[in-house]
Structure 1
Amino acid sequence: MASLTEEATSVEQSFKTLEVACDELRHSRLFKKLLEAVLKTGNRMNDGTFRGGAQAFKLDTLLKLADVKGLDGKTTLLHFVVQEIIRSEGVRAARAAKEQNSSVSSVSGGTDDLSEDVGDDTEHYKQLGLEMVSGLSDDLQNVRKAAILDADALTIAVASLGHRLVKANEFLNTGIKSLEEESGFQRKLAQFVENSQAQVTRLLEEEKKLRLMVRSTVDYFHGSKGKDEGLRLFVVVRDFLVILEKVCKEVKDAAALAAKAAAANKKPAAAAAPAKGGKQPSQSQQSFRDPRQALKPAIQGRRAKPDSSSSSDSD
């Protein structure tokens, strides 16, 4: 009896994880922002081809973003997508922090002029935005947990619980019903069967609801109804988050190296007077180099080959 209760509780926890995972995906503003950037990048690459102007794409495409590389063999489409959004995310985070500090100052009697903008420190905002993007995995913790669940195993577990409950009920009605006097065991078993029946019935209903919820979440991101792939949605997103973390680290490391090189060259550069009217590239521009230059040949190659399979599979 204890085993049945423990298994039912375990299934309930798994169902709760799936429910929260669907909610995390649907309501993650940053995840949607990334998808929008991927879609815009794909349409830009496929401009002039039958793939251009897509309104949605299969989430499997996220796993292919690291496959299309520039001439340097390192810069990928995902590097480009990350660079596209980190500044705006940094500005957003800075404004949110400023508003929060303003609220605290107001309560304590201080003043803070929110009319002033957050400034124009591009490198600072990109660093801040990079932290936000690399932290997406933490915002989707239940998605990662859901990725290790097996939909078929959960279905089998619920069916097994129902079968065992039927057996317990049969034993209650036939095996010990012949006893002349009602025993304490008989009363406990009857109470257990009654409670378990309500729990298993609830699990059966919850399973149906969650199947529809997962399917609805997949259709929500794909923009149309597709085939039922079980819980593969969460596996794809989990694997994408791993790739995203790796790319964010590479962008951060590259920016640090560029900043270090810029600092080392600053002294010799200061000794030589710049030409009149000449402009030196800022440390911000050097630290976060635009990956579009490295990707330009790849993008042009994509436009020349509209039937290529290495681009996003837009619906």
Structure 2
Amino acid sequence: MKSILLLEKQCTQGQNFFARMRDFLKEAEMEIKQVRCDEERALGRVKEITEYFHGDAAKEEAHPLRIFMVVRDFLSMLDHVCKEVSQQDRTVVGSARSFRMSATTAMANLKMYGQHARDDDDDDDEDSWSL
């Protein structure tokens, strides 16, 4: 764009075009500077993360974004393990369903358990009095 703007001195027409191009170039240069600053800051943070999790960022200087591949692989393994655990949980829940009982059976068992518990409490009370 700068070389195109150099043609302005040689051209007698299109002054409006060259004026707009100059304005655009100024804005683009400011945006490019901002993007470069953001890039440096982001790469600095990537380097910090690499040092924190990987230990030696100097080793990874040739491949600074390799840490993202490591994280991707880790998340993939974690996802696989979560799916396996989920399948195991379904198997356990599925096998437990065969032990369901009706409400009347459950109530009868609770009453029977309650009676045994009272009998046990009565035995404990008798033992405590005999001391």
> Could you state the TM-score of these two structures normalised by the residue count of structure 2?
0.63
190 and 225 in structure 1: CA distance in 2 versus 1, 3 angstrom threshold: closer
Deviation at 1:223, TM superposition (A): 4.0
Give per-residue Cα distances to partners, 1:98-135, cap 9 Å, x unaligned.
xxxxxxxxxxxxxxxxxxxxxxxxxxxxxxxxxxxxxx
Per-residue CA deviations over 1:134-160 (Å, capped at 9, x if unaligned) read: xxxxxxxxxxxxxxxxxxxxxxxxxxx
State the identity as a percent: 27
Report the counterpart of residue 170 of structure 1 in structure 2.
3
RMSD between aligned residues: 2.3
CA contact (8 A) 2:8 2:15 kept: no
Q: Which residue of 2 aligns with 1:206?
A: 38
State how 1:191-202 maps to structure 2 within 5 Å.
191-202=23-34
The one of 64, 72, 80 aligned to 1:238: 72
Of 17, 21, 42 in structure 2, the residue corresponding to residue 185 of structure 1 is: 17
**Unpaired stretches in structure 2, ≥5 consecutive residues:** 102-131
Which one scores higher on RCO, CA 8 angstroms, separation ≥ 6? 1
Structure 1 residue 180: Cα displacement: 4.3
Alpha-carbon distance change, 180 to 259 in structure 1, aligned in 2, over 3 angstroms: closer
Where do 5+ consecutive residues of structure 1 fail to align? 1-167, 268-315
For this pair of structures, how many residues does the alignment match?
99
- Within 1, Cα distance between the matches of 2:14 and 2:82? 68
Structure with bigger helix share is: 2
Q: How many angstroms apart in 1 are the aligned matches of 2:19 and 2:57?
A: 50
What amino acid sits opposite 1:231 in the alignment? L
SS in 1 for 2:37: helix
The secondary structure found in structure 1 opposite 2:35 is helix
Q: Contact 2:46 / 2:65 at 8 angstroms: preserved in 1? A: yes
- Deviation by residue 1:200-249 (Cα, 9 ceiling, x = unmatched): 12222222222221111110123454422221111221222122112111
Which contiguous aligned blocks of 4+ residues in structure 1 show a shift greater than 6 angstroms? none
2:115 aligns to what?
none
Matched, 1:257 2:96: no
